[in-house]
Amino acid sequence: MKIPFVSLAHQTGVIKMAYQSRLEELLNKSDFVMGPCLSTFEQNYASYTGVQYCVGMSNGLDALKVALRVAGVGVGDEVIVPAHTFIATWLAVSEIGAIPVPVDCQLKTRNIDETLIEQKISNKTKAIIAVHLYGLPCHMKYILDIASEHQLIVIEDNAQTQGAKYKGSMTGSFGHINATSFYPSKNLGAAGDAGAITTNVEQYYNHALLLRNYGSIRKYYHEEVGYNARMDNLQADFLDLKLPHLDTWNAERTSIANTYVKALSGIGDLTLPFTPSGYEPAFHLFVVTTKFRTKLQQYLRQGGIETLIHYPVPNHLQEAYRNLGYAKRRF
């Protein structure tokens, strides 16, 4: 039996027929960009997340970039990021000319160690990006309290956590402005690249709408230097059909994860995903750590079980960040 790392065929199969008929409608109308199906998905995703506004974006990286710009982050500003995350969190900060300031993560939760944030805040700090890694929410209360004390903006990176809850509310609803990715293998995955911004602040919503569309609301009039970062209607329709299934699919992930946790606890030096009380993770990934990583990977491969290392090179040691000058094992 082969267990692939990701298999999207089941989820796609569930919505395939419905999508084919929406696709036919879309092709007949040939209405591909900024149509009513985008607004429908935006409204549905906002209400699923428990926020007032959603802006459909081209991908998660663009969503983070726009969120940062909406938050007023610019050249030379500092943004607190977790040391351990997918590199897009850092790239978004760098791409707008700001500086990512990494804070180490907790071994137990794998998320940013909230108790280490305050010591990294300087007079240049503008925002904190809270990445809910592998599906587990960050300690949002602690992070929001620090942010409010220092008048910083909180941006959730919800790319790996669609449908997760922290103290009863959905992730993506806590920060001032939040970004997510619908890359195909995410818990809510598109049929290509897509992402979104969620917020409760009307002014941020309007600004994000402007930035994703060349800095323009009125055609051919440009108030700011913006991007082309819109979500296609083809993706909006696909995501809108998948959204009603997300809770069921996440419950399946959770039940499988619970089985793994029960079966694997106490084996060797394996550390397993940890769920603090009041957290409902989305189990985007089931991540274990061990000193015998290569051997374990080989053993699982022999059994037909595919695994991946998330992530093989930490961000502070990537060639792209050599200029920041962080040493090996600094985090």
Q: Which residues lie near ligand PLP (CB under 6 A)?
A: 59-61, 85-86, 88-89, 131, 157, 159-160, 181, 183, 193, 195
| Minimum CB distance to ligand PLP, residue 64 (Å) | 6
| Minimum CB distance to ligand PLP, residue 313 (Å) | 15
In the complex with ligand PLP, the residue whose CB is nearer, 68 or 159, is 159
In the complex with ligand PLP, the residue whose CB is nearer, 181 or 233, is 181
| Minimum CB distance to ligand PLP, residue 233 (Å) | 18
164: left (phi over 0), alpha (psi -120 to 50) or beta: beta
Contacts of 113 (CB under 8 A, 6+ apart): 103, 104, 105, 106
Residue with tokens 């904190």: 128
Residue of minimal CB distance from ligand PLP? 60
In the complex with ligand PLP, the residue whose CB is nearer, 58 or 213, is 58
Residue with tokens 């998330």: 310
| Minimum CB distance to ligand PLP, residue 109 (Å) | 15
In the complex with ligand PLP, the residue whose CB is nearer, 157 or 240, is 157
In the complex with ligand PLP, the residue whose CB is nearer, 60 or 163, is 60
Q: How many Cβ atoms sit within 10 Å of the Cβ of residue 12?
A: 15
- What is the rounded CA–CA span in Å between residue 302 and residue 229? 43
Q: Is 278 exposed, middle or buried (0-12, 13-18, 19+ CB in 10 A)?
A: exposed
| Minimum CB distance to ligand PLP, residue 324 (Å) | 19
Q: How many Cβ atoms sit within 10 Å of the Cβ of residue 121?
A: 18
Residue with tokens 């592998």: 134
